[in-house]
Structure formats: structure tokens, C-alpha cells
A and B are shown apart, each in its own frame.
Chain A
Amino acid sequence: MRAVSNLAQFVAADTAPKIMLLLALLVSIFGIGVVVVGRRNRATTSAQTSKNDGQPVSYLTSEPLRANDLSVRDRLTKVRATFAGAISIALTSSSITQQTWDDLEEALLRADVGVASTARVLAPLRELVKTKKITQPSDLMSALQNEMTAQLSQNSRELNFDSSLGAPNIWLVVGVNGAGKTTTIGKLSAQQRALGRSVLLAAGDTFRAAAGEQLETWASRSGAEIVRGAEGGDPSSVIFDGVARAASRKIDLVLADTAGRLQNNTNLMEELAKVRRVADKGNGKVTEVLLVIDATTGQNGLTQAKQFSLATQVTGVVLTKLDGSAKGGIVFAIETELQIPIKLVGLGETIADLVAFDAQEFVSALFN
């Protein structure tokens, strides 16, 4: 094995194109790995078995409907009353101690903000405490929230809709299995219809059994058209057909569904990249690529955002299922590390439960 590492160092040391050696290294490690495992397995077998309707040419903001009368924070506070953690206890003490820092850190980690992002938001505060600019735990809490809100407030959260296009806008919805893509499309469709836009749903999830039927239900609920392909068919062509149909009928917006896929599945990610390319080729333009992230997602969310962005140039995040006990802190890491703005938040099963993301409310809910 020493030779492998020598070889690795040798290849790495020289930047000249040693492609052959590089490949050889890969091939050899693999070949040997497979054989070693194979042999040992055998040895141990017994062990285990648009229409431009005269409006001024501009990017319109499509503000989603507000959920009922309650603010996001109110709703979240209500459902989470029983989950209030130990954090308030530490904050009632009279001075800032190691315990205070530990509690803050733990609160952030429990909200899935992640180790690196937690360290990053606490660092400037440690400085402020060191220089005695902050001395009270309660001030520290509000400073932390301000810091996090400020870090989140750099990006525009408007959904891009170009009414000057003279062709359908296309919003592509992507994400891993079970994140809530189809449901998000259903709600978006209803909201966009309520804004007076005509909508066509393109059923690009040709893989999951009955995904088309699910979308069809949403189409009829929201008064949108739908274009479906054969189960197991090529998703690019379904979406291309959807755009063509929308263009010929002067429909404003195409909401394109895609099959859920895990971001480490190279082939499926390539398929998705193709969907993105092909969607732009017809008589329409992709103005928004929304990545749907489930609020229960842990640190893997960051990898999801990276890989889906590489494949499809994600323009915004939709955080779903935030009405549960999960706080969705991973999107803080996604937005601050990758500069992908969080645009929408899903708070329940009804159409009105998809609302605009509000940084301040989100941050304060992290600590409830």
C-alpha cells in the first residue's frame, strides 16, 4: 500500500498532465479494493448473512398570499410552545458565562444551523462581549438575532417573473425525494392564478408512480392546465412540450415539476441538467429554479444545495414543512454560504400556507 501513497504523492507533486497515472491510481485502488473485499467476504460468509397585457415592462414581484392573519412567528410560536428549550433559563442569569455560550451554541445546533455556521455567527459576538460592549445575556440574544438577520438580508427574495418576455416564464422545481416539490407547485399554481396569471403545470416527474395524477389533482384545484408524458418517459421532452403548449396558448407561466432525486446520483443529476438546458431551448425562458428543502433536513441540505446548483443554477430555496417541530436551520447555512436566497416557506397543507420568507421571523423562530 505504501506504493499507492507514493504514487499519489508523486502524481500530486507534479502538475504536468499525468492523466495516465492519475487514472491508473484510481483503477488500481479499485481493482484491489474489490478483490480484497471479495476475498474476505468469501472468508466470512458464515459470519453474516405571457401575455404582455399592457403592463409596464418590468420584473414583477409576485408576493405570495399571506397565511391567514397570523404572522409566521405567531404560528410557529404556537405550535412550538411545548418545545421551548433550556435556552431561556441561561438567558435569565445575570452575567454572560461559559454556560451562556454553550446554551446559545446548543440552541443553534439543535435548529440544524450546523457547526460551521454556528461558529461563524457566534464569533463576532464573542468579540463584542470581550470588549464589554455587551454584558447582559438578554442583550447577547438580541445581538445574535440581529447578526443572523443581517447575514440573511443581503439577497432579493422576489420570485422572478419577466412580463416583458412575450413568452412563457418557466419556473423549474427541483429537490430530493419527498421534499414536497409537487405540493409546492400546487400551492404556487393556486397563488399565481390568484394573481391573475395563467398557469400550465408540466409533469416532469415521470418516474414516481402516480406523480402525474397528484399534479393533475393540483391542476384542477388551481385552475391550471397540465401537460403530462408517459410514465417512465423523458422528462425534458415533457417540459419542452409543456412550454410549447403554453407558448401557443399564450400562457404566462409554466411550473415544471421534476422527479425527486438524490444529489449523489450522477446520472439523475445529469438528466436534471439536461431538463434545465432543454427548458430554455423552446419558446420560453427559465426565470426561476426553486430548490425545495424539507425543514427536517440536517447537514446534508448543504450538499443538496451545492449539487443542485451545479446542475441547474438554483435561484431560490423553498423551505417546506416548517410547521412541524423542525426549525430548518440548514437553510441559514445554505443562504449564507452559497448565496442562494430563501424565497418561500411552507407552513401547512392548505394553499395559503406557502408564504414569503421573512428573515427576522425565521431567525426568531429558531430560538423558540
Chain B
Amino acid sequence: MFETLSDRLGGVLKGLRNRGRLTQQDVTEVLAEVRTALLEADVNVTVVRDVIERIRSQAVGATSSTALNPGQQIIKIVNDELVSMLGGETLKIMYASQPPTVVLMAGLQGSGKTTSAAKLASWFKSQGRQPMLVGADLQRPAAVEQLRVLGAQLNIPVFSAPGDPVKTAQLGLAEAKSLGRDVLIVDTAGRLAIDQEMMQQVKDISKAVKPNYTFLVVDAMTGQDAVAVAKAFDATLSIDGVVLTKLDGDARGGAALSVKHVLGKPIAFAATGEKLDAFEQFHPDRMASRILGMGDMLTLIEQAEKVFEKEKAEEAAAKMLEGEFTLADFLDQLQQLKKMGSLQGIMGMMPGMPKEMKNAEIPEDQVRRTEAIIFSMTAQERANPELINGSRRVRISKGSGTTVADVNRLVKQFSEMKKMMKQMGGKSSRGGKSGKSAKGLNGSAMPDELAAALSSRLGPR
């Protein structure tokens, strides 16, 4: 719904694509667009100011270099800057010499502490450790019950006791010691950073269990307030790292940058789904693309990797580029694509698509009709549509509940498509598969962005 950075820059830079140089005035305009993009991604106002200052000098200086056009350069500069701001030292868990290693989870209400505590426990388990969970959230009704259910699913013991959360945490620590568990994760109640009483309580819990690691759980959808929250929790608890949750949503997640910048502490983990294994170590490069609105394509490709059967997809793509793509392949790919959600939605997410395309309706009934027509063909007909003569057309149209004209149209469009794909195959094999093939393309900005997105994800080769 918000424009991607390259869409934004596209407007500003249109006039000077061919000039290839940014004047001071151009840089000011470009930076204004970068600022808007970052603000729409929920990066904190103060942090945005810092980012802009960091890239201003580079933006002016970078005009004369290399093969990239100014737009690509700016995107690269911003992207690289964000990656370096988000990255830096990563968190390596050092286990306590005297077990258990204690981890304290803290954060606002609803940020995802309880689920993250369970996911983290599962992560430790996958590292060969023997974690235990302590439910010290005695505030929210059934919070402990929730932790118990999750613990049972993961086959990880959960300790809790009613009454005082500080005491509960203490008892949990003793229990972990007596059971010989080597990692203890303490879930605490959600609290507002300005609630002094509750902040004191979590401080007391921290004093009681002396955590080796204290993680602040931050919702990726958080807006400007992320900075105030991070500061307050850090002042109270001295945070070691951040767990960023709900990254499977479509929020740009600028809060990650704000929190990282303000705390200077690493973002350790990212929660990317409702399932308990949807928890991974944080990738600064992906986050940077995402904040700039260029992550959608990557997310799509990641999703695609999950639902597409890889060999089939490779085979189909190769065939496509050689012009040997059949209707059977097409049907197969279409059905895999549909597993990823509504086609309209997928279309909307494709970066750099011409506006007309993004807004183009994809009528689901026509998609169904298309499928129906192909379903009504024999295997031979799907492999070789030239076979389809008059009587076959009638049979297919009857079988699919469509008209002969519909069948004709489909066959005709398919052959047009094949021609274009073949053309494309020739181009791309000459131009190489890397982002370089994007150069010199007029009209659509997609390849720029794909190139930037892909290269930022994949890093230098």
C-alpha cells in the first residue's frame, strides 16, 4: 500500500536518468523521498534524521561512479547503510559455566513474549540444550496455562507457582537446578514502560534470577514509540538483545532499525510465523530490503520456495526459456502459484510492476475457466496444442462448460506467450542471470529492484 523506495525515486529521477549526475538540488529531493519512505516504514523520526545525514554525503559523492544509474546508486547506498546499521555484532550465546543459563523475556503487553519464550526454548532444544520454561506472568488470565500448553507441545517442562512473580521466578530457578536443566527461560507479564510499579517488579525478578541474557520482545508493527519503550526497558533491565516478532505480517518493521540504533544491542531473533518452529536468527540484509519496501519480492520468493516443488519449478523455468513450455506445465505452475494466496495479492506485491498491471483485475472466475479448459484436454493436447482441431475444440468446450471461442482464445494466447518466453530466454542467457541484465532497461523499474533485492539478499558473490 505504501510505495516502495524505488517507485518513489523513480518519479524524482525520471528527468535525469540520462544525465546520470545528481545535482545538489536532486540530492535534496531524493533525500526527501528517502525520508518519507523511512517514516512510512515506522522508523523513528530521530533515527530517520541520522540515516539521512549518514547518506547525504555519499549521495552527493556517488554520482560519477560505476555502472549503476543514480536511482540504483541511491537505493544501494540507502540499503547498504541500513544493513550496516541493523547489523554489526551478532549475538552469540555463551552458556553459563554454572548452569542453568538464565534468559529473561520482557516487553509490552501483546508483543509476543509467551509465544517467543516457547519458541526460544525450542530453539535451545534444537541446539542440544535442555531448556525449562518459567511462567512468571501471573497478571494476564491463563498466561501460564498458555505456556504450559506450548511446553507440552514441545515436550519442554514448564514451572509456575501462583502468588508473587518474583518468588515464582526464584522457585523456578531452584527447580531448574534440581532437575539439572541447563537453560532457563523466564516469561514475564507484559508491562507498559511508564508503569513504575510494574517496571520495579520486573527489575526485582531480574535481581532474583540474575539472567545471563535479557531479551526485549518487540512487535514488528510498532510505530514511533518503539524508541521510548526500548530506552525504558534498557534503563531498567540492561537489555542484551531484541526478539523481533510478527515478521510474517506485512509491516515494514522500521521499529527494528529504531531499536537497534537506540540500544546499540543486536537483534538476536526473528519470529516469522504462528508455528513454534517459525523462529530464526535475524538477517539484517533482509530487514533492510523490507524497510525500504523491497522485501515483498523476497518474501514471495521465500514463500514460493516453500510451496513450489523445486525440481519441477526449475524444469518448468528451463522449458519456458527454451520455448518448450506446455499447457501441462502451465497448469501445474498455476496451481502451485495459487497455493500462495490470491493471484491479485501476488500481483500487487510484485515490485516495479507498471501501475496499470498492479491494479489490473484478475477475475477468479476466468482463472477457473482457464483451468477448466486445460483440465478438459487430453495429455497429448496439453503437450501439443496444435493437435486441437475442430472436433477436439467442441469436445473441450463442452467438457469445460465454455465456448469454442474461449478455447480458441486460450490456445492463441498460449502460443503468443510461448513466443515471448522464448525471446526472453534468449535475452537472459546472453545477459547473464545476475542483476546486470537489468541495465539499460527502460520503462519498468522491476529489474532494478529485483537486482537490488536479490543482491542484498544474497550478498556479494
Check B334 against A23 for contact (C-beta < 8 Å). yes
A110-B36 contact in complex given A20-B409, A34-B313, A303-B250, C-beta closer than 8 Å: no
- Say whether A109 contacts B141, CB under 8 Å: no
List, in ascending order, chain B residues with CB within 8 A of A44's CB: 458-459, 461
Interface centre among A1, A37, A44, A112 (most CB of B within 10 A): A1
| CB pair A321 B417 closer than 8 Å | no
CA of A4 to CA of B224, assembled, Å: 39
- Knowing A20-B417, A321-B109, say if A299 contacts B333 (CB, 8 Å): no
Q: Are A21 and B416 in contact (CB under 8 A)?
A: yes
Does B112 lie within 8 Å of A178, measured CB to CB? yes
A31-B316, A324-B194 are contacts. A5–B420 as well, Cβ < 8 Å?
no
Contact of B357 among A12, A112, A218 (CB under 8 A): A12
B341 partner residues in chain A, CB cutoff 8 A: 266-267
Min CB distance A198 to B, Å, is 22
Residues 322-355 (chain A) with a chain B CB within 8 angstroms: 323-327, 329-330, 349
Contact (A263, B313) CB under 8 Å given A3-B420, A5-B447, A214-B142: no
Q: Using a CB-CB cutoff of 8 Å, which residues 429-454 of chain B contact chain A?
A: 431, 433, 437-438, 441, 443-444, 446-447, 450, 454
- Known A2-B424, A8-B354, A176-B221: A32·B320 in contact at CB below 8 Å: yes
Nearest CB of A to B229, in Å: 7
Q: Chain B residues near A218 (CB, 8 Å)?
A: 141
Chain B positions within 8 Å of A43 at CB level = 461
A-contacting 9-mer, from B50-58, B359-367, B396-404: B359-367
Q: Which residues of A contact B45 (CB under 8 A)?
A: 106, 109-110
CA distance A211 to B112 in the complex (A): 14
Is there an interface contact between A298 and B194, defined as CB atoms closer than 8 Å?
A: no
Q: Mark out the residues of chain B between 297 and 343 whose CB falls within 8 Å of any chain A CB in the assembled complex.
A: 297, 300-301, 304-305, 308, 310, 313-314, 316-318, 320-321, 330, 333-334, 337, 341-343
Flag if A298 contacts B354 (CB, 8 Å). Answer: no
A330→B110 contact, CB < 8 A: no
Q: Is A84 an interface residue (CB 8 A)?
A: no
Which residue of the partner chain A has the closest CB to B283? A48
The residues of B that contact A19 with a CB separation of less than 8 Å are 362-363, 366-367, 370, 413
> Which residues of chain A are near B313, meaning CB under 8 Å?
30-31, 34-35, 38
Within 8 Å of chain A (Cβ to Cβ): is B383?
no
Q: A12: which of B153, B321, B354 is its contact (CB, 8 Å)? A: B354
Q: Does B248 contact A (CB under 8 A)?
A: yes
> Closest CB of chain B to A129's CB: distance in Å?
21
Q: Is the CB of A299 within 8 A of B40?
A: yes
A230 on the interface (CB 8 Å rule)? Answer: no
* B residues near A31, Cβ cutoff 8 Å: 308, 313, 316-317, 320, 333
Q: Is the CB of A210 within 8 A of B40?
A: no
Pick out which of these stretches binds chain A: B13-21, B168-176, B344-352. B344-352
A262 contacts B224, CB within 8 Å? no
Which residues of chain B have C-beta atoms less than 8 A from A183's C-beta? 140
Contact B354 A9 (CB under 8 A): yes
Give the residue of A20, A35, A180, A208 whose beta carbon is less than 8 angstroms from that of B370. A20
Contact, CB under 8 Å: B357 / A298: no
Q: Given that A35-B314, A262-B249 are known contacts, is A303 also in contact with B424, CB under 8 Å in the complex?
A: no
- A257 at interface, CB cutoff 8 A: no
Q: Interface size of A by Cβ–Cβ distance < 8 Å?
A: 94
Chain B residues 339-397 with CB under 8 Å of chain A are: 341-343, 345-347, 350, 353-354, 356-357, 360, 362-363, 366-367, 370
CA distance A17 to B412 in the complex (A): 13
A299 near B246: Cβ-Cβ < 8 Å: no
Select from chain A the residue with minimum beta-carbon distance to B457: A37
Contacts of A8 in B (CB 8 A): 353-354, 357, 444, 446
> What chain A residues lie within 8 Å of B362 (beta carbons)?
19, 22-23
Interface of B: prevailing SS: helix
Whether a CB of chain A sits under 8 angstroms from the CB of B428 is yes
In the complex formed, the residue of A with least CB distance to B433 is A36
Q: Looking at the complex, which one of A2, A23, A296, A325 makes contact with B427 (CB distance below 8 Å)?
A: A2
What residues of B have a CB within 8 angstroms of the CB of A177 in the complex? 110, 112, 246, 274
A24 close to chain B: CB less than 8 A:
yes
Establish whether residues A28 and B360, one from each chain, have CB atoms under 8 Å apart when the complex forms.
no
The residues of B that contact A242 with a CB separation of less than 8 Å are none
Q: How far is the CB of A165 from chain B (nearest CB, A)?
A: 31
Residues on the B chain within 8 Å of A265, using CB: 248
Given the complex of chains A and B, what is the CA–CA distance between A44 and B434 in angstroms? 14
In the assembled complex, the Cα of A20 lies from the Cα of B360 at a distance in Å of 13
Q: How far is the CB of B65 from chain A (nearest CB, A)?
A: 24
Q: Are B150 and A114 in contact (CB under 8 A)?
A: no
A226 within 8 A of B: no
Number of chain B residues close to chain A: CB under 8 A? 110
Q: Does B228 contact A (CB under 8 A)?
A: yes
Are B454 and A324 neighbours in the complex by a CB distance under 8 Å? no
| B88 → chain A closest CB, angstroms | 16
Q: When the two chains form the complex, which single residue of A37, A211, A296, A323 contacts B225, counting CB atoms closer than 8 Å?
A: A296
CB < 8 Å neighbour of B246 from A176, A209, A301: A176
B1 with A306: CB separation less than 8 A: yes
A295 to B346 alpha-carbon distance, docked (Å): 29
Among B142, B313, B321, the most chain A Cβ lie within 10 Å of the Cβ of B142
Minimum CB–CB distance for B355 against chain A, Å:
9
List, in ascending order, chain A residues with CB within 8 A of B438's CB.
Answer: 1
Query: In the complex where A38-B310, A180-B109 touch, is A114 in contact with B40 (Cβ < 8 A)?
Result: yes
Shortest Cβ distance from residue B288 to the other chain A in the assembled complex, whole angstroms = 15
Given known contacts A18-B413, A326-B225, A330-B223, A28 and B320 CB-to-CB distance under 8 angstroms:
yes
- Given the complex, which residues of A lie within 8 Å of B96, measured CB to CB? none
- Residue B222 lies at the interface, judged by CB distance under 8 Å to chain A: yes
Tell me which residues across on chain A come within 8 A of B82, comparing CB atoms: none
Shortest A2–chain B CB gap in Å is: 6
The complex places the Cα of A208 from the Cα of B275 at a distance, in Å, of: 11
Tell me how far the C-beta of A321 lies from the nearest C-beta in chain B, rounded to whole angstroms.
6
B222 touches A20 (CB 8 A): no
Chain B residues, CB < 8 A from A330:
223
Give, as a whole number of angstroms, the nearest-CB distance from B297 to chain A. 7
Chain B residues in 8 Å Cβ range of A32:
317, 320-321, 428
Separation of A326 and B255 alpha carbons in the complex (Å)? 13
For residue A7, CB closer than 8 A to chain B, the reply is yes
**A5 to B446 alpha-carbon distance, docked (Å):** 8
Q: Is the CB of B142 within 8 A of A12?
A: no
- Contact in complex: A325, B145 (CB < 8 Å): no
Task: List residues of chain B with CB within 8 A of the CB of A35.
Answer: 313-314, 317-318
B304 CB contacts on chain A under 8 angstroms: 30, 33-34
A360 within 8 A of B: no
Given A300-B250, A330-B223, are A1 and B145 neighbors across the interface (CB < 8 Å)?
A: no
Decide: B1 and A303 in contact? CB cutoff 8 A.
yes
A57 within 8 A of B: no
Chain B residues within an 8 Å CB radius of A115 = 36, 39-40
Q: Can you list 6 A-B pairs with a CB-CB distance of less than 8 A?
A: A20-B417, A111-B224, A214-B140, A303-B1, A324-B192, A324-B193
Going nearest first, the 6 A-B pairs with the smallest beta carbon separation are A298-B223, A178-B110, A3-B424, A298-B42, A209-B149, A326-B225
User: Given A23-B343, A35-B317, A296-B226, 4 more contacts at CB 8 Å?
Assistant: A1-B447, A29-B350, A30-B333, A210-B145
